[in-house]
């Protein structure tokens, strides 16, 4: 059972759906860009045809051109955003994807609605029944559900999620900082994504085939150790002061304001000292 305050629950809330749909969203924006490009070509073609043959086709070019530019611009904007953020870039196997979906569903089923009522599980409630073929068993149809909850697999995934969340928070916190960690943030997130994707696959094997789970357990523990070391080293790097070369390459608005205030205060202090010195000379 997933605890509502666990690291796994926080991962499922913040990044679970993004891992499931990140690749699909990027592909969708690529398709939108392609449609926009096609409309632009059509609009340009109509404009050229109208200009050359004087048949009035150029008057119908505005619609496709405007629609094409809008679609291409929006698609390109969001494609770049999703490309810059590596969430959803790691490859999820069919087993890992199915397990992730069911973990999200399992977590949502434990939520309490705004009125404080628990999810209805009385007469008429139907629990999804496992069927036989997501894994390609001949002659069977449907989508196979993960059979039951494996507490050990949940505990291992919770540790994986804890280190994933540590790396995710570091990447977000230092995205615009002058430190070297900002440059490494995309790679840190990609490492966390790949580790979580592989852990989900092996955890699904523990759910499906608990008899042969020794190798899967060992692999998840290895992934957890690697992610823990990565997060420890990244956190140690995050607490050190930026070097001079790092600061030279980036200046925030806060740096500029502080420098201006210090210079202004220093000028006022020097002026005050000069006035006091002049007054002492006059008095003497």
User: Which pLDDT belongs to residue 139?
Assistant: 35
User: Which pLDDT belongs to residue 85?
Assistant: 53
Using CA atoms, how far residue 130 sits from 90, 215, 248, in Å, is: 27, 25, 59
pLDDT in tens, 220-244: 999 999 999 999 988 888 776 555 5
Angle at 120 between CA 114 and CA 122, to 5 degrees: 160
- Which tokens hold the place of 169? 């928070």
User: Which pLDDT belongs to residue 202?
Assistant: 92
161 within 8 A of 7, measured Cβ to Cβ: yes
Tell me which residues of the chain have a pLDDT lower than 50. 113-144
196 within 8 A of 164, measured Cβ to Cβ: yes
- The secondary structure of the chain as a DSSP string is ---TTSHHHHHIIIIIHHHHHHHHHHHHHHHHHHHHHHHHHHHHHHHHHHHHH-SSGGGGSHHHHHHHHHHHHHHHHHHHHHHHS-TT-SPPPHHHHHHHHHHHHHHHHT---TTSPPPP-STT--PPPP-S-SS--TT--S-PPP-S--HHHHHHHHHHHHHHHHHHHHHHHTTTSSSHHHHHHHHHHHHHHHHHHHHHHHHHHHHH-GGG-HHHHHHHHHHHHHHHHHHHHHHHHHTSPPPHHHHHT---HHHHHHHHHHHHHHHHHHHHHHHHHHHHHHH-
d(CA 34, CA 100): 31
202 within 8 A of 224, measured Cβ to Cβ: no
User: Which pLDDT belongs to residue 125?
Assistant: 42
148 within 8 A of 194, measured Cβ to Cβ: no
Which percentage of the chain shows pLDDT scores above 90?
A: 15
d(CA 278, CA 283): 9
């Amino acid at each position: 059972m997933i605890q509502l305050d666990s690291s796994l629950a926080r991962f499922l809330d913040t990044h679970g759906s993004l891992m499931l749909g990140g690749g699909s969203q990027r592909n969708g924006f690529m398709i939108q860009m392609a449609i926009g490009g096609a409309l632009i070509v059509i609009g340009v073609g109509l404009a050229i045809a109208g200009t050359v043959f004087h048949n009035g086709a150029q008057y119908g070019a505005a619609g496709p051109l405007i629609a094409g530019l809008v679609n291409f611009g929006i698609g390109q904007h969001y494609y770049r955003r999703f490309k810059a953020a590596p969430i959803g870039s790691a490859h999820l196997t069919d087993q890992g994807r199915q397990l992730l979906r069911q973990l999200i569903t399992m977590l949502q089923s434990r939520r309490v609605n705004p009125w404080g009522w628990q999810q209805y599980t009385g007469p008429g409630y139907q629990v999804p029944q496992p069927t036989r073929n997501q894994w390609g068993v001949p002659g069977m149809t449907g989508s196979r559900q993960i059979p039951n909850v494996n507490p050990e697999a949940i505990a291992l995934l919770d540790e994986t999620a804890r280190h994933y969340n540590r790396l995710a928070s570091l990447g977000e916190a230092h995205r615009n900082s002058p430190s070297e960690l900002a440059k490494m943030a995309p790679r840190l997130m990609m490492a966390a994504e790949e580790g979580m994707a592989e852990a989900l696959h092996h955890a699904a094997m523990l759910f499906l085939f608990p008899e042969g789970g020794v190798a899967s357990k060992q692999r998840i523990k290895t992934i957890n150790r690697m992610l823990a070391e990565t997060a420890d080293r990244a956190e140690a790097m995050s607490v050190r002061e930026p070097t001079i070369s790092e600061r030279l390459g980036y200046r925030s608005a806060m740096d500029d304001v502080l420098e201006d205030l210090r210079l202004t205060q220093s000028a006022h202090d020097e002026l005050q000292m000069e006035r006091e010195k002049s007054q002492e000379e006059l008095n003497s």
